[in-house]
């Protein structure tokens, strides 16, 4: 016990943390091909409410919520009687729009995120940069054309739509994998983990925008 303690000037109360603006958004996007509503909460708990009409796609979006610790509510209807192309691409676009809106001016975020995720023999790496410049670089040699009712070619369309509208640079590589379900799942899980890292508020950044330009 310090005898000077009582006499010491009362320390300034710790500055109350600025209440974080709620990082959430709701976007509705309707075309003649698809009708999509996305609600996202970036500081969520990984809860998902998903209805895209494609079971395996719901399973993948569930990974994004769970491993990204974002809450996702995605209700999508579309021309699945043709195929899944328009719907999967448009969910990527609408989710990208919602994430861009929820992240706002990006002040205080980590900006970069990366993750490796394995699932048995499969291993994927995803790197994301909230750069403000859309770009997708994807190398995933899927070992099957379809997983359940889901065309694996649509993974590219989903991430292209997401990258273009979230305004992020995305590098996606599947490094190993023999089973297409595993390959796909590691891609979505790694995407989720990378997203979580990039969106995390960095307490040392003290609310600064993580760019020497001052804006992203």
Residues engaged in binding Mn ion (CB under 5 A): 185
Min CB(59)–Mn ion separation in Å: 6
Q: Which is nearer to Mn ion, 93 or 119 (CB)?
A: 119
Distances (CA, A) of 205 to 19, 27, 81, 103, 187: 16, 29, 49, 16, 29
Q: Which residues pair with 48 in a beta bridge?
A: 72
Q: Which residue is nearest to Mn ion (CB)?
A: 185
Q: Which is nearer to Mn ion, 94 or 124 (CB)?
A: 124
Q: Which is nearer to Mn ion, 157 or 185 (CB)?
A: 185
Min CB(179)–Mn ion separation in Å: 10
Q: Which is nearer to Mn ion, 72 or 168 (CB)?
A: 72
Contacts for 206-212: CB closer than 8 Å, 24+ residues apart: 206/108, 207/18, 207/107, 207/108, 208/107, 208/108, 209/105, 209/106, 209/107, 209/108, 210/106, 210/109, 210/110, 210/111, 211/111
Min CB(190)–Mn ion separation in Å: 14
**Which pair of tokens denotes residue 97?**
């729009």
Min CB(151)–Mn ion separation in Å: 17
Min CB(58)–Mn ion separation in Å: 11
Q: Which is nearer to Mn ion, 151 or 185 (CB)?
A: 185
With residue 181 as reference, give the H or E element that holds it: helix 180-199
């Amino acid at each position: 016990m310090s005898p000077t303690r009582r006499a010491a000037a009362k320390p300034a109360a710790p500055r109350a943390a600025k209440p974080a603006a709620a990082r959430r958004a709701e976007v509705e996007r309707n075309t003649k091909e698809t009708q999509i509503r996305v609600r996202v909460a970036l500081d969520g708990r990984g809860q998902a409410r998903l209805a895209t009409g494609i079971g395996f796609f719901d399973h993948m979006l569930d990974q994004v919520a769970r491993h990204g610790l974002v809450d996702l509510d995605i209700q999508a209807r579309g021309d699945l009687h043709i195929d899944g192309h328009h719907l999967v691409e448009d969910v990527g676009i609408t989710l990208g729009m919602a994430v861009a809106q929820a992240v706002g001016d990006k002040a205080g975020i980590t900006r970069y995120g990366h993750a490796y995720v394995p699932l048995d023999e499969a291993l994927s790496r995803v790197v994301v940069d909230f750069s403000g410049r859309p770009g997708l670089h994807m190398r995933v040699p899927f070992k099957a054309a379809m997983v359940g009712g889901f065309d694996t070619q649509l993974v590219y369309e989903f991430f292209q739509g997401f990258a273009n509208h979230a305004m992020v640079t995305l590098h996606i590589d599947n490094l190993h994998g023999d089973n297409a379900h595993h390959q796909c799942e590691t891609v979505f899980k790694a995407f989720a983990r990378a997203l979580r890292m990039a969106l995390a508020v960095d307490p040392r950044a003290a609310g600064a925008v993580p760019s020497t330009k001052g804006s992203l």
